[in-house]
Amino acid sequence: MRIVELNREARENILSGLLKRDPNNYQKYEATVRQIVDDVRERGDEAVSAYTEKFDGVRITPETIRVTEAEIEEAYGLVDKELVGVMERSAKNIREYHEKQRQYSWFDSRPDGTLLGQKVTPLESAGVYVPGGKAAYPSSVLMNILPAKVAGVPRIVMVTPPEKNGKVHPVTLVAAHLAGATEVYKVGGAQAIAALAFGTGSIPRVHKITGPGNIFVALAKKAVYGHVSIDSIAGPSEIMVIADETANPRFVAADLLSQAEHDELASAILVTTSRELAEQVSAEAEQFVERLSRKEILRKSLDNYGYILVVDTLEDAIETANEIASEHLEIVTKNPFEVMMRVKNAGAIFIGEYSSEPLGDYFAGPNHVLPTNGTAKFFSPLGVDDFIKKSSIIYYSKEALEPIHKDIIAFAESERLTAHANSIRVRFEEEKQ
């Protein structure tokens, strides 16, 4: 990994390079995605079947697109029982964590005849996209479905690309069943996002779409936003590690590579106050790359977006972390909790040398769907809040409105909204007669 003595110019160059990975910069794909979305909106199931055959090599009809109970039972028979147990334990942790995020309606009544409040209502439906085809991502299934389930969403639809045999990967299907998906459909890509957003003959529309995917999925979510809510337009994965001389270089190197292996655009950055640690981590990373299975992806990721940044002080490291606002941030320093309190921008913060990023990906409980591309400055991890909506409650009796009604009239008239003023005035006309 390249080692850089960090100054302001270097930091700006790195930030500029990272921002180029933003899905919003891939305009060359937007026309293709828009065509697919519009086609599905117009032709429904016919278009979905055509694109599934074109891109996945599988013929899916409206009669076979939905996963059956028999297919779920078959999947359980194909998945190792120990793995099912692992997923059950992971699901328990995820569910318990998200249950602590629940919000409840509240009402505040006063003696003067007013009642104000907030009514919390779960969304009526949610759609979850799960990548598939060549690989299975049961962790994404659990992380997207369980918060919706905890929120009380009654209809949770999962879409995922079929395998060449026309079926959903059994591990993915078992995870969906464990998490509580109400429907599963064998469709992926931009066509799946369009189907969820607008509905087809076989796939009813949903109110919100969440879940990761490739650039076509990300741009499709962008294209349908406004017709339906989305979680975010996610970019490539990122990890940053803040470390000092006390860190274990072998652990740090392994953690950086855990994200670099996602794809060639993934970013892995170490910020350290120790030049010695920087050199040790670089050497360890090189050794790991040579023997890990995704060697080519790792190499390209590190060459393009891998950095070891050497800074003068821990304060410089924290400032850099806040500016980059990484999806995953590990803190491996002498006093990691003190550093954590000074971090403002990060999707998920992992504290100490035994809290590596994969712990969060698979098992700890906090959601692994996180803001990327610097959006941790203003976005949060996926959670229960994403699957609820809030309505304001306002009640005033006549006796409560009377003392303030002239104030409201004056406010409305200052904005020249005379109909607003009149709406209040007419309620007290009798008193003036």
Is there a catalytic annotation at residue 327? yes
Q: Which helix (H) or strand (E) holds 339?
A: helix 336-342
Instruction: Kindly provide the b/e burial profile for residues 222-251, where b requires at least 16 CB atoms within 10 angstroms of the residue's own CB.
Output: bbbeeebbbbbbbbbbbbbbbbbeebbbeb
Can you read off the two tokens belonging to residue 247? 């860190």
Measure the CA–CA gap between 284 and 352, rounded to whole angstroms: 19
Is there a catalytic annotation at residue 98? no
Annotated catalytic residue within 238, 284, 327, 357: 327
Measure the CA–CA gap between 388 and 395, rounded to whole angstroms: 23
Can you read off the two tokens belonging to residue 52? 């599934």
Measure the CA–CA gap between 427 and 431, rounded to whole angstroms: 9
Give the number of other Cβ atoms within 10 Å of residue 361's Cβ: 18
Measure the CA–CA gap between 202 and 194, rounded to whole angstroms: 13
Tell whether the torsion through CA atoms of 118, 379, 196 and 90 is positive or negative.
negative
Measure the CA–CA gap between 282 and 228, rounded to whole angstroms: 45
Annotated catalytic residue within 98, 262, 328, 368: 328
Concatenating the DSSP letter of every residue in 87-134 gives HHHHHHHHHHHHHTT----EEEE-TTSEEEEEEEEE-SEEEEE---SS
Of 348, 254, 304, nearest to 14 by C-alpha is 304
Catalytic residues: 327-328
